[in-house]
Amino acid sequence: MIKTYIAENERLKPVDLSSAERGAVVWVDMIAPTEDEEKAVETWLGIAVPTRADMEEIEISSRLYSEDGAHFMTATLPAHADGDQPEMGPITFILTATGPLVTVRYHEPRAFQTFPQRAEKAALGCGSGEAVLINLLEVITDRLADILERAGGEVLELSKGIFHPSEKKASKRDRGFQIILRRIGRKEDLISKMQDSLLTMQRLSGFFGAVSARGSKDGRARIKTLSRDIDSLSDHATALSQKIGFLLDATLGMISIEQSAIIKIFSVVAVIFLPPTLVASIYGMNFEIMPELQWPFGYPVAIVLMVFSALLPFWYFKRRGWL
């Protein structure tokens, strides 16, 4: 599918490609294009539209390059990022020599839904393909910032759940820690994907700034601001990644403490009942001559001795603060 837009009073206006004046088009948005659609755009603009396999290459030379007067820039962006499992995919931005911006994509990031709507209602200065690209990249950066902001708030909630658990019973706390571990894993995966996306955006903004060196002063200033914003988001994503690593270590430490406490209780109980077991074992032997067997007070004395031998270790452990 191909969507085309023309500039009208600094706003974007969607038009039908077949009826539009091609010289007035400032943005061509190609969504999962077919071979016929690719050939039509290539013939019209004199460019080679990259295939999906080309867009998924990780080499910088395959993602950022100039060819036949056109500048090709590919970034990895998330779609459906309201949850912890966004759909990641490459998007190629092509600044053609004739003027219009061409975008090639195979998924639906939210920025590509919100930006055209805003640009139709407000005069964002979308008078050229380069201006459209600057505005579009700003909306994409805002969207990435929103995703990181939401992830940061959820990481703070995880921190509270780890260090201030609401459950008092050990069994419920253990189940809570298992849930937290799974949530930490999902957050780590999300932040890792955002870091990869921001890395491609950093490279794209640097390349864009270089090829737009002869552009307007306002455009160059906006590109520099965009680059600084992306760098700040990248630093924030790195800090969140480190925080998640700390929370993972803290959660495993809390689980280890809970397990150690359980083992400690079993060890103390075993030591407390060891002396009474020894006394009971002695008087459970079947020798013919045992003086206490004929003693009238032998049984109660043995009971008292077993109770005393159990209380003595308990009192000692309590005094030493081991319980």
In angstroms, the CA 217 to CA 221 distance is 6
When mean pLDDT is compared over 12-21, 97-106, 190-199, 248-257, the highest value belongs to 190-199
262-319 to CATH, choices 1.20.58.340, 3.40.50.11540, 3.90.226.10, 1.20.140.90: 1.20.58.340
Q: How many residues does the chain have?
A: 323
Q: Tens of pLDDT along 36-85?
A: 888 988 888 888 888 888 888 878 777 888 888 889 999 999 998 888 88
Q: Tens of pLDDT along 159-195?
A: 888 887 766 666 666 677 788 888 888 899 999 999 9
Domain spans in the chain, listed from the N-terminal domain onward = 2-258, 262-319
Tokens 């599918």 sit at which residue? Answer: 1
Is 2-258 a domain of CATH 3.30.460.20?
Answer: yes
Q: Tens of pLDDT along 300-309?
A: 888 888 888 8
Reference 86, options 107, 59, 56, 55; nearest CA is: 107
When mean pLDDT is compared over 128-137, 233-242, 263-272, 306-315, the highest value belongs to 233-242
Strand spans (E) along the chain:
2-8, 11-15, 25-31, 64-67, 70-79, 87-95, 101-105
In angstroms, the CA 72 to CA 203 distance is 12
